Structure 1
Amino acid sequence: MNNDDIRNELIRIRRAQAEAEQRAQAYRSRETEQRGYASQARKRAEASGRMADLPSAATHHTRQADAAAENAEAWERTAAERRMEAARMEERLAAHGQPGPSRGERRGPGEGGRVPAPASEKLRVLWLGAGPEGDLRGPREQDRIREAVHAATHRDRVVVDAHPAATAAHLLTQLPRFRPHVVHFSGHGNEDELFFEENKDVRHYGVPVKAQTFTDVLAAVDEPPQLVLLLACDSAAQAEKLTGTVPFAIGMTGEIDDETAINYAARFYATLCEGQSLRAAHNLAKVALRHAEFPDHDAPVMFHAPHADPARAVLVSPPNAHE
């Protein structure tokens, strides 16, 4: 192998290492989550005297935690193997007097910590609303977001492409066409699915899109989004897994009602459009919910890839900031 071949192989190994580390982290987080659920289930059963509930609750979560731990250990072993391979490749380059590839050549999600604002283009937000049963206030959320953006200092640096009755086809079409920096889904969901609309004019139950399918679609395009926001019940698990594909993702722990979701989204985008970081936008939106005494104010949770820093991720800033 010549030096170029070695450098390319080193880049490939580092990518594989980063992916293994991300997957291990995700499984460790799931293990912690499931053990927490198991502990809560035991306490509820003990408090109510209904210990017969344990097999269907605490035991289930414990098994899920054990399975996650096994997967985490397997990915940790893989990451360790990739690290050793990378070290050997770096030694080969050093023997030839060649430096290793720079961090800019490593294409893992969020690699390098800072996620800069788009330099010469507006921030593009793809808003996908789905309420097939007619029980969600998607248009109201859309209006509140537009009002928040319009009132912000850098309103001219943001464009929102909204689809209030989004089907899975909208996602497939608009990802490569609109090339969004942010994908925002507002609708029903759970740990494993998001429910898009069907192309029909009557109320229906929606079309489920598996979490893995949604992830695969995002990963398939040349320019995956920098942020995915899932305003859907129980979507935190999906959001956490998405950080293997995108630098940042936000999901909901448990249920979240329309009013909470709308107020979170409006404050989040209002803060982003003032040139604040993702961390600031997320935290300020949650503070606003808590101050307004929404009972589900802690539902929104942000996740990020290991090398991505939400405190340094500024997605909206004036054009002269990049000159």
Structure 2
Amino acid sequence: MSASQYQRQLESKRKQRAEAETKAGAFRSKESTKRAAAGKARQSAVKTKSEATFRSKMNEAERRETEAVTAGKEANRWETRAADYRKAERLLQEKLTRAEKSEAAAADHRQRQMEHQAAKREAAERSAVNERLSRAESSVGYVLSRLPEPKPEKLRILMLGASSDGDLRIGREMKRIQDAIRTALLRDAIEFDVRPAATPDDLLDGISQFRPHIIHFSGHSDEEFLVLEADRDEGGLSAEISARAFASAVRATDTPPLLVVLNSCSSASQIDALVEQVVPFAIGMSDTILDGDAINYAARFYANIANGQSLTSAHQAGKARLEMDGAEGCDLPTLASAEQADPVTTILVHQAD
């Protein structure tokens, strides 16, 4: 993950630790107050000559002591939790430091490359201007008389996975999706291009070479970014791609996809822009989703697609799968569509005649 993501996680962990320490202090204070009250009740019991008052005060002392023990246990529990948060903070700080060093080195390398390439482009562009003018002149007057008739073809799914830290089961998700399709009615009508350690170039090459109908992304994201892997041999390096840059990449083809699936945390905020500008349909997650829930939703969604069901039915089946498991995130998957696109009637895989 990127340094900015580690920084956000570190700030969240610090907040959790501070809240745990506050609660531990409150329960510890309550424990002291209850013990003092128990001692006071015992003193009163010793001083009284009334047997009824003695029993009453001793019962009160016992209640206060029980309350003190309960408060002490809660204080211990929150102190343990605060200690766990401190340990997590230290680990995140170490990862943040490494990520900042790695990103600084990568930025310096990119700057040197950009300066070198800028000089080459300047020379090449001067030569290309004349060539483009020549081609434009020769192509004037030629137009297409009609578009070719569409040809029957298989549904092509480009599967992109990225987890540079290895904290997501990318391979597991891709296998579950492929296994679900292999047992479906229309399995022979689907093709895959699987890229489990996807880089920015894998995204661009997959779109231009494979020309997918569906782009499926599995990895880390938030409201504004997707995280791919850096195209370098060192492990643990990531490439943070803005939602705008991702949309530009999906748009950069003569055959744009029909559906983009962002099976990653908090990605639903990106799908409205995709359906307004790029694709007819998009799916994202409205908040943080557990890895296992994301895998189960995707496997069921594609199983229904491969059984000839509509986009709406496949989406509802994926959500139902999570609800049947009792998952709290069953409402997180979100389907968006362009104004003139109807997911209820859209079926991506049809039975051959």
TM-score w.r.t. the length of structure 2 is: 0.56
Q: 2:332 aligns with which of 288, 296, 299?
A: 299
Structure 2 residue ranges without an equivalent (≥5): 1-145
The answer to whether the 8 A contact 1:119-1:319 is kept is: no
The residue correspondences of 1:1-323 to structure 2 (distance < 5 A) are 120-244=152-276, 245-320=278-353
2:230 and 2:298 map into 1 onto residues whose CA distance is 25
**Secondary structure of the residue that 2:297 maps to in structure 1?**
helix
1:119 and 1:317 map into 2 onto residues whose CA distance is 13
The one-letter amino acid paired with 2:307 is: E
C-alpha displacement of 1:241: 1.2
The answer to whether the 8 A contact 1:191-1:238 is kept is: yes
Deviates most, 228-237 or 288-297: 288-297
Structure 1 residue ranges without an equivalent (≥5): 1-104, 106-117
C-alpha displacement of 1:290: 0.5
1:317 and 1:119 map into 2 onto residues whose CA distance is 13
Aligned length, in residue pairs: 204
Deviates most, 210-219 or 194-203: 194-203
The one-letter amino acid paired with 1:219 is: R
Deviations 1:20-72 (A, max 9, x none): xxxxxxxxxxxxxxxxxxxxxxxxxxxxxxxxxxxxxxxxxxxxxxxxxxxxx
Partner of 1:16: none
**CA root-mean-square deviation:** 1.4
1:200 and 1:220 map into 2 onto residues whose CA distance is 24
Deviations 1:179-212 (A, max 9, x none): 0000000000011110000123443251011111
C-alpha displacement of 1:132: 0.6
C-alpha displacement of 1:295: 1.4
1:205 and 1:254 map into 2 onto residues whose CA distance is 24
The answer to whether the 8 A contact 1:120-1:319 is kept is: no
**Secondary structure of the residue that 2:221 maps to in structure 1?**
coil
The one-letter amino acid paired with 1:189 is: S
Report percent identity of matched pairs. 44
The structure in which a higher percent of residues are helix is: 2
